[in-house]
Structure 1
């Protein structure tokens, strides 16, 4: 099936009152698992490659993008290709030629004025090249390189971290973004699903801005909280760590049973299957 635009999947989900899940791709097995999980759930999904994943692949965007796109096109499910958490202008400018129809430009570490200026320029570039552009306001935290929560400001519950509705309204108007990732109580890289979201704030943000809202750090959010978040106004639901937890758990289990195994297919097969089950589970929660 041809690639579908992220914006198209998000618009469909928003119109139906549902969510659409976006999953991080690191290895080929991640991409294959996302496609398999979407097919099992009978719905679309977004395959997203982050700047950190590009760095893992030697800083070369082309190979992981081509692999993910090939997997998506071979699938029976409607799948989109998205470039996630881009801070590098050079990487942003490489996205159209690499086949991306959408990008999340992340200037959230900058002061508000700097975030607006950098994001507005990224949006102008993206729109000139037909890309749907997401940005972040507030600090979700938990990404590699962020200060540890025990040191203060990036705790999901710290004062000043969550997205302010009035600031969000001004930010969307000033930047022209197509979607807004907001800080409402989740955090990246959570391995336990214990996050409690601020659903009143989600509702305020939905009323404040005309664009779809994006929830980052959804791996740490329980199913019930995710359903409430979608009902409150979240549309694009980002999942990364949950796939890695499934992958690593399956690999550990196989190697504990058979420490002599050396063929990676022995442990990558159950790892891929575990990720596909995780993908299907999240999709059934947010897209119904």
Structure 2
């Protein structure tokens, strides 16, 4: 199975009333685990590399992107490759050559007019290079260690009428919306504003994306998908699973020095976490998604 454009996977999931799971990866073990988890439930999946992950990898995009693409090429399910939360124009312009089928431009921290201008420019470039593009309106808090936004703070929620105008004027293919989830939550105690999601789903013609999904329990995730979310981004849940498993292994084997032993434990835990989350979304229904276009 080869890489499949993210837009194809999102459209296929949405057409079936479901959502595609999109997991942020940091290491090769993350990529292997996500693919294995998706294979175990017969679901397509998206691998995402964020700008922060590129910074962790000493500013080099290609090594992890090439590894993810190679893992996807050997997968038994369709796999998309997405460049996530991009603020740097220079990084954005590496996406097509690095094998990505999609990008997310993140100018949500800017005032509306500046967000729109930056997003429109990015969308024009992305489409000219065959890339599907996602943007964010409103601000999903908790990114990069920042405190979550207060629920009533300006910009903390996506306004449906602004979202309608923004998507029409920017030309993006999908919109990440702020509806109550928070990045980097390590407990699954979050909640979605389902009434707002219903208004956004009615107002916006492009697929809606949920960020900060690790902090939502299964029932909230399933309800969000039923309410119109077509792509669900997950990152911290994998890191929690990996870290807990490695910590337990090293506690049980204090003399361990071979990194393969504890990384194997971490990878196995991420496989289970990925499979469980994909199942919670109802994304494991079709075993095969549309072929690459």
* TM band (smaller chain): over 0.9
Structure 1 partner of 2:232: 237
Partner of 1:90, secondary structure, is: helix
- How far residue 274 of structure 1 moved from its aligned partner, in angstroms, is 0.4
- Structure 2 residue ranges without an equivalent (≥5): 286-293
Q: Is structure 2 residue 52 aligned with structure 1 residue 52?
A: yes
Change (3 A) 1:141 1:282: same
Structure 1 partner of 2:144: 144
Structure 2 partner of 1:197: 192
Cα RMSD (Å): 0.8
Distance 1:158 1:44 in 2: 36
Q: How does 1:10-159 map to 2 (within 5 A)?
A: 10-144=10-144, 146=146, 148-149=147-148, 154-155=149-150, 157-159=151-153
- How far residue 60 of structure 1 moved from its aligned partner, in angstroms, is 0.7
Q: Is structure 2 residue 225 aligned with structure 1 residue 263?
A: no
Change (3 A) 1:244 1:145: closer
- How far residue 200 of structure 1 moved from its aligned partner, in angstroms, is 1.0
Distance 2:277 2:242 in 1: 15
Instruction: Could you list the structure 1 runs, at least 4 aligned residues long, displaced by more than 3 angstroms after superposition.
Output: none
TM-score, length-normalised on structure 2?
0.95
Instruction: Work out which structure has the larger RCO, using CA pairs closer than 8 Å and 6 or more positions apart in sequence.
Output: 2
TM-score, length-normalised on structure 1?
0.97
Distance 1:186 1:65 in 2: 27
Distance 1:128 1:59 in 2: 25
- How far residue 285 of structure 1 moved from its aligned partner, in angstroms, is 1.2
Structure 1 partner of 2:208: 213
